[in-house]
Amino acid sequence: MTTYSVRSGDTLSGLAQRFHTSVGTLQKTNHIANANLIRVGQKLSVPDSFQAAAPSKGGGKAGSYTVRSGDTLSGIASRHGTTVSALAKANHISNPNKIYVGQKLTIPGRSGGTGTSNPPPTTGGTGGVGGATGGTKGGVSVAQLRKIMPNLSQAKAEQYLPHLNKAMAEAKINTPKRQEMFLAQLAHESGELRYMEEIASGAAYEGRKDLGNTQPGDGKRYKGRGPIQLTGRANYRAAGKALGIDLEGHPERAKDPDVAFRIAGWYWGSRNLNSYADAGNFREVTRRINGGYNGMASREMYYRRAQGVLG
């Protein structure tokens, strides 16, 4: 049995992939009732028969990795201490969003000048990256995030922040105006990032052809997940196609932080919401997310709070 200490950004599903085991096995071995609740510093027992090869460290040699269902190039890069660009270059990948199950990847060592950059800090004062006082293209800090969403725990903030900042960078949510609106909407939609999956069963969506739910069980299968709740087979298919992830085949991945925040960024970009954020049109951003103005007072409260923190 091997002991692993949970780090910021870890999820039980990600650890199961890394150690070639299952979420159920990790839950049973460690007496974890809720697979979505693990904390930074928590000690997990991993059966030795499933132990994964250690990721590449600075100055390490190149290794190899076989792509599994649900993998993304960014997730593989993060687990092996390298970058998407270095992986793409080493494997002659022209489109980082297109990898396939069973594909053999060369994992480059980091001593050969692959251009690895340090991720943005996940802790610190109220300033952003580099000590900026507001939101920046480098993302936000744990302190800023928790000022906007005070009911979000420190552990969850530390776990989610790297994925949130990566998703904002990918969606070009890289100015205070854009970040204020994006985070305000996420705060309302997810209960301050406390709910990554709809509490209801999803049965209410059964037979909703407007959501692409045409097969028996689609309502529950494609229930709302993520900080902007992705709902319906058609939307799972569209998000998965855009991000290079088989969300239609593996809808449960939509609640994992490494995927969930990217989905929120994709949703934001697919509706051209940066342009409305740039114009300061919070009402139209709300309409395009909600289809109306549900919970407007709550959304505006978070928006004002975000402006005070990032503006």
Mean pLDDT, to the nearest integer, of 21-47? 81
In the residue annotation, 189 being an active-site residue is answered as yes
Q: Is the pLDDT of residue 140 over 60?
A: yes
State residue 116's pLDDT score: 32
Identify the pLDDT of residue 45: 85
- Higher per-residue confidence, 137 vs 271: 271
pTM, rounded to two decimals: 0.59
Mean pLDDT along residues 133-156 = 84
Phi, psi of 197 (to 5 degrees): -145, 135
Span of 44-53, 73-82, 83-92, 227-236 with lowest mean pLDDT: 44-53
SS3 245: coil
Residue 129, burial from CB neighbour count under 10 angstroms (0-12, 13-18, 19+) = middle
**What's 203-255's CATH class?**
alpha beta
Point out the least confidently predicted range of 71-80, 268-277, 281-290. Answer: 71-80
In CATH, the number for domain 2-50 is: 3.10.350.10
pLDDT tier for residue 8 given thresholds of 50, 70 and 90: low
Residue 57: its pLDDT value, please? 39
Q: Which of 85-89, 136-140, 154-158 reaches the highest mean pLDDT? A: 154-158
SS3 state of residue 156? helix
The mean predicted confidence, pLDDT, of the chain is 82
- CA 36 to chain centroid, in Å, comes to 13
Given the residues 158, 180, 189, 248, the one annotated as active site: 189
Residue type, 152: L
pLDDT band at 52 (very low <50, low <70, confident <90, very high): very low
Q: Which of 145, 152, 72, 154 is nearest to 105 (CA)?
A: 72
Q: What is the pLDDT of residue 127?
A: 34
Task: Tell me: pLDDT of 282 over 60.
Answer: yes
Q: Rank 24-38, 54-68, 161-175 by mean pLDDT and report only the highest.
A: 161-175
Give the type of residue at 248. E
Cβ count within 10 A of residue 127: 16
Domain range list for the chain: 2-50, 53-117, 129-195+262-310, 203-255
- Residues 157-175: tens digit of each pLDDT: 999 999 999 999 999 999 9
Query: What CATH code would you report for 53-117?
Result: 3.10.350.10
Partners of 86 in the beta sheet?
none
Mean pLDDT to the nearest integer, 270-281: 95
- Strand 43-46 to strand 63-66: parallel, antiparallel, or no bridges (unpaired)? unpaired
Token duo for residue 14: 């990600």
Model confidence at 112: pLDDT above 70: no
Q: Using CA of residue 133, residue 138, residue 141, residue 145, what is the dihedral sign?
A: positive
- Which CATH architecture is the domain 129-195+262-310 placed in? Orthogonal Bundle (1.10)
Q: What is the pLDDT of residue 279?
A: 94
Structure token pair of residue 281: 């049109």
255 has pLDDT over 60: yes
Do 53-117 and 2-50 have the same topology in CATH?
A: yes
Residue 236 has pLDDT above 60, yes or no: yes
CA 21: distance to chain centroid?
Answer: 21
Higher pLDDT, 83 or 184: 184
249-260: average pLDDT:
95
